[in-house]
Structure 1
């Protein structure tokens, strides 16, 4: 990062000294927040990557805790500072932006907004920054939002999720040794989960919605072996240290290709269980509603680039730096992007159901949640305000899949995992299929 240097008179120096005293703690942060001062990593890319750190470290040696937060209303009307983790489902935002910062010829550039993307893999880190005001928005699953809800409430930070970007389509799941084939086989098994993760909620939801007895459910949940990350859980599984692991791709595929392991359950069978959305500081969104609407519009328009444009995501996300086009396309299959119509429906229905379900999951393992956030969290006014840009006959990507001869066996097997009966035990609106009991023969 280079700065211009000037030769100053004695009077000018005195004036600047006074200004520095008056603005101490605020001026530096304002530059970072508005994008005038760029955050860079060791490769000189304008990105913040954090993993198991307490603070965001800037290239001048300071941390976000050293900087004084300013009001979100101080941000330029057309600028959004956002954090995303390394998940393929955020690709439409990255494509709309043309990289970490908005490119003039990008979709966002043509819409007249600026988006500064920071890659932050630690949800504690990004939520701290959102609460403090360093960020205006952050990408989270609804599962994670439920977990963070009490944290936001305790900090008096109002948040909304006006946009669901994607849902996991087989990207998350539970792998197991080949002898574990039903939920009953989980009783007494060594089960590893990444703590406070979407994968942990997947296991707890799976167990809670089975026909196990309450004591069996509690035995499984209370004896889960906790790991730091989905990667750690998968590695312990393949090393023979545990019999079951909640994890994500590419470990699901790896287990599927082994003779002594398989995928016990994945989001292919219940796609809405893990949905991603953009959480905005409500005050920022209220003041800059036009910018938020253009942000959503641009991301939806960029859906067409999902499996054709790969340069931007390689620049933004380290995990894709050296990935081939084919590898990125394969990753795209594990997350399915939502449409405008999906958002119109999800924000008024399934998203609320999932939030309620996940609050129940976290509560069942002793975590505090703010269930009342449900009343204000999913705001569809921004989607409604851009309706003229999208067709009312647009096809939904999240429509319920009916039972057919082709998928009947998969549904039967999934039901068998949860119990021994032919009745569907998925919570309403959370499963990929519905009313299958009346169709199965």
Structure 2
């Protein structure tokens, strides 16, 4: 998901893409999707490995790229046809020259992200004036900004220590920072080591951290049957997860890999997300003529990133979401 190692860079998306070895583009009967390592993307692998895509005549290539700017660069240059990421993350890349839309929502973080703090900090307002380790430019900063705003604060009220979420957790456990924004399995590790407390996790903010598959607009226009097969396969995989969780997690773990390569680790991580089914998708993404709940998150993301990055973002719901494929 959102588990990216966002780095500041002056390189353009196109230049970044040329530096990558990803070599698949738009082709009938085939879709190529880049993503980071995140449990919420497990249903893509589940649908692939259970043959749901293949049965519909679709070949889906899934590529792990642990940096949002890199997989978005590959998509911008046509080396990938889409990406799996949080809606707030991809919003920053959408422009008149780079057209893509979310066609299906995969999951929402429901406890998988959190803020760990020293035991003397008991609420969000207790972060005021404190050093907070957080990955600038990532969904972690987006979420932290949201929580601070709800508490009548802003990012200016904390001292940001910019580091990846894994490094943030390590720095916190080592006692170098009193607070860190991170995710599972780091939240559990902090609790097991008795290093501090989880001040808040994403179960308290349902619908704010949402992962989607966003495909190039040209692909949506020219390969509608492939997109339909992709969405149907994912939603079928979600239903399989409900009825066969053990088997589903075993298959997902093999596909997702990385720190989730063991089925028991993926199963534990899955407790922190909600895989989104057809009804969830219609409520979240919307239906033709009626915007879904995600419109509010898009508005929030525009406002948040405009403030945090000092440049205007004004991406419209209709420019970022296509409800055609989740509508019966």
TM-score class, shorter = 0.7 to 0.9
Task: Find the aligned partners of 1:224 and 1:66 in 2 and give their Cα distance.
Answer: 31
Aligned-residue CA RMSD in angstroms?
2.7
- Between Structure 1 and Structure 2, the one with more strand by share is 2
2:92 is the counterpart of 1:92: no
Contact 2:39 2:260 in 1 (8 A): no
TM-score using structure 1 length:
0.65
Once the two structures are TM-superposed, the CA of residue 88 in structure 1 deviates from its matched residue by: 0.7
Query: C-alpha distance in 1, partners of 2:6/2:315?
Result: 30
Structure 2 CA distance for aligned equivalents of residues 169 and 66 of structure 1: 35
- The 2-side partners of 1:304 and 1:88 are apart by 16
User: Does 2:177 correspond to 1:242?
Assistant: yes
Query: Which one has more relative contact order, counting CA pairs under 8 Å at least 6 apart?
Result: 2
Q: 1:328-343 residue pairs with structure 2 within 5 A?
A: 328-343=266-281
Structure 2 gaps, min length 5? 286-290
Contact residue 32 and residue 61 of structure 2 kept, 8 A: yes
TM-score, normalised to structure 2's length?
0.86
Is the contact between residue 89 and residue 337 of structure 1 (CA under 8 Å) also seen in structure 2?
yes
Asked if the contact 1:173/1:202 (under 8 Å) is kept, the reply is: no
What is the aligned length? 310
1:253 corresponds in structure 2 to 188
CA contact 1:194–1:232 (8 Å) conserved in 2 = no
Q: Does 1:141 align with 2:86?
A: yes
* Post-superposition CA distance 1:257-296 (Å, at most 9, x none): 4545111111011121110000110111111111101100
Q: Secondary structure at the match of 1:268?
A: helix
Question: Given the alignment, which residue of 137, 141, 156 partners 1:200?
Answer: 141
Tell me the alpha carbon deviations over residues 288-307 of structure 1, each in whole angstroms, 9 at most, x when there is no partner.
11110110000100113432
CA distance in 2 between counterparts of 1:374 and 1:253 reads: 35
Question: Pairwise mapping of residues 300-319 of structure 1 onto structure 2 (< 5 A)?
Answer: 300-306=235-241, 307=245, 308-319=247-258
Given that 1:191 and 1:225 are in contact with CA atoms closer than 8 Å, whether structure 2 keeps it comes out as: yes
Greater C-alpha radius of gyration: 1
Residues 382 and 369 of structure 1, relative CA distance in 2, 3 Å threshold: farther
1:70 deviates by 10
Please, which of 146, 150, 156 is the counterpart of residue 219 of structure 1? Answer: 156
1:193–1:226: 8 Å Cα contact kept in structure 2?
Answer: yes
Aligned mates of 2:60, 2:171 — CA distance in 1: 39
| Counterpart position of 1:126 | 71
